[in-house]
Amino acid sequence: MLTGAAMISVVVAFFGGTSTSGGRLTPGCGGGIGLLFVALFILALVFGLIGAVAVVGAILLWFRYQWGVLVLIAVNLLSLYLIAGSQSVYPGQLVWGVVVVLLAAIPLIAIGVLLWPLWTRGNKLVLALQLLILGALAVPVALTAGPGLATDVNSALQAAPAPQTATQTHSGCGATTGFIVSPERE
């Protein structure tokens, strides 16, 4: 259940990061919307794969296989990496900074809960090897998530920048006349 919450928190962090940037996607020339659809497609593929692996890990854990714990810990490490490494908090966004820190805590809690079944099953030599492998997986996550969360918290505690006024101008991309749009007659 905590692994599922960690997966949902990655989605929340992704959409929160895209919506809190202050920029907005406009249909001008279709570039922004097209990039959003490509990002959502890639995100759906990644989450489909990670979700399938998490389901396999949960089934293995249910049947008390040793691999279930290892798979779920690896999925939670990946979730932590995706949440904390995104650095989606901008200056002055204190509430969103708190939300990102709380979302990053979900996979950490899941990993903490999964350490007990890992510790109590199997012999100690296999346990030492498993902890060595999980430690090797956790090092890049810690090196990314730690500074990522620190940057998010520092950005949230900074003062918000002064609002700027923007003018809407036509960028000139695309034809104003053609097959669908009829030319204006004077």
In a domain, 138, yes or no: yes
Per-residue pLDDT at 170: 52
Per-residue pLDDT at 127: 87
Per-residue pLDDT reduced to its tens digit, 133-168: 899 989 998 888 888 888 888 888 888 877 776 555
Per-residue pLDDT reduced to its tens digit, 82-130: 888 776 788 888 888 888 888 888 899 999 999 888 888 778 888 888 8
Nearest to 84 by CA among 139, 129, 135, 141: 141
In a domain, 183, yes or no: no
Radius of gyration of the chain (CA): 22
In a domain, 166, yes or no: no
Is 114:69 a contact under the CB 8 Å cutoff?
yes
- What CA–CA distance (Å, rounded) separates 152 from 140? 18
**Which residues, including other chains, have CB under 8 Å from residue 176's CB and lie 6 or more apart?**
none
In a domain, 27, yes or no: no
In a domain, 125, yes or no: yes
Q: Which domain holds residue 46?
A: 2-19+38-157
Global pTM reads 0.71
In a domain, 120, yes or no: yes
Q: C-alpha distances in angstroms, 157 versus 29, 93, 183?
A: 36, 8, 52
pLDDT bucket at 58, cuts 50 / 70 / 90: very high
**Which residues, including other chains, have CB under 8 Å from residue 150's CB and lie 6 or more apart?**
none
In a domain, 72, yes or no: yes
In a domain, 178, yes or no: no
The total of structural domains in the chain comes to 1
Does residue 63 register a pLDDT over 90? yes
